């Protein structure tokens, strides 16, 4: 998150808080942060999955798919990494 995105995030949190709106849910200020954390965790897990042996067998990243996450914060879509062999289960 760069400085401008941080400032915009803080403004959205403050505006929602001051207006009495929920910070959670699909339109809440925290949803993009949760989405970002989940996507980064899946990307790191993919890196771990594609170790030297997997790459040696020709397996590598193969684009991204989409999944819908349903949580107590509401539902939102995330991008999930794919591998060529389809062994990376998300």
Q: Is residue 56 part of a domain?
A: yes
Number of structural domains found in the chain: 1
Q: Is residue 69 part of a domain?
A: yes
Q: Is residue 24 part of a domain?
A: yes
Does the pTM surpass 0.85? The reply is: no
Q: Is residue 88 part of a domain?
A: no
For the chain, the three-class secondary structure string (H helix, E strand, C coil) is CCHHHHHHHHHHHHHHHHHCCCCCCCCCCCHHHHHHHHHHHHHHHHHHHCCHHHHHCCCCEEEEEEEEEEECCEEEEEEEEEECCCCCCC
Q: Is residue 31 part of a domain?
A: yes
Q: Is residue 41 part of a domain?
A: yes
Per-residue tens of pLDDT for the chain, all 90 residues: 688 887 888 888 888 888 988 887 777 778 778 888 889 999 898 888 888 788 788 888 878 889 998 877 677 888 999 888 877 776
Q: Is residue 89 part of a domain?
A: no
Q: Which domain holds residue 20?
A: 3-83
Per-residue pLDDT, 3:
83
Q: Is residue 67 part of a domain?
A: yes
- Give dist(CA 3, CA 7) in Å, integer: 6
């Amino acid at each position: 998150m760069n400085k401008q995105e941080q400032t915009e995030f803080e403004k959205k949190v403050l505006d929602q808080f001051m207006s009495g709106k929920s910070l959670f849910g699909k339109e809440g200020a925290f949803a993009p942060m949760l989405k970002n954390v989940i996507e980064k965790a899946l990307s790191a897990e993919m890196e771990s999955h594609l170790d030297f042996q997997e790459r040696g067998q020709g397996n590598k990243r193969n684009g991204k798919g989409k999944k819908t996450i349903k949580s107590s914060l509401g539902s939102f879509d995330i991008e999930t990494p794919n591998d060529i062999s389809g062994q990376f289960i998300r």
